[in-house]
Amino acid sequence: MDIEQRVKKVVAKQFKVNENEIKLESEFVKDLGAESIQSIELIALFEEEFDIEMDEQAALVVKTVGDAVEFIKKVIEENDGEAQ
């Protein structure tokens, strides 16, 4: 399962929506009805799913599912770079 699929799976579970309805351009607040507390919970769920640590302030500027995918890819790449 790739990063995009895993992000969609976590988002679907958190917002109780069908995974097939989630698009990369779906906005967490406007399209998925996210509230600020859910955004923080979502960050924790992404950290757990991908075994990463995300800068909470930086992560809170992520507005769409696609942004989240790119953000997580970047964090994973940075972590891989540090691990070597």
pLDDT digit string (tens) for 23-74?
Answer: 999 999 999 988 888 888 999 999 999 999 998 888 888 999 999 999 999 9
Q: Is 80 exposed, middle or buried (0-12, 13-18, 19+ CB in 10 A)?
A: exposed
- Residue 71 has a CB neighbour count (10 Å cut-off) of 19
CB 54 within 8 A of CB 41: no
Cα separation of 31 and 1, whole Å?
Answer: 24
CATH of the domain at 51: 1.10.1200.10
Task: Count how many domains the chain has.
Answer: 1
pLDDT at 84: 57
pLDDT at 83: 65
pLDDT at 59: 87
Please give the residue range of the domain that contains residue 27.
3-83
Cα separation of 12 and 55, whole Å?
Answer: 22
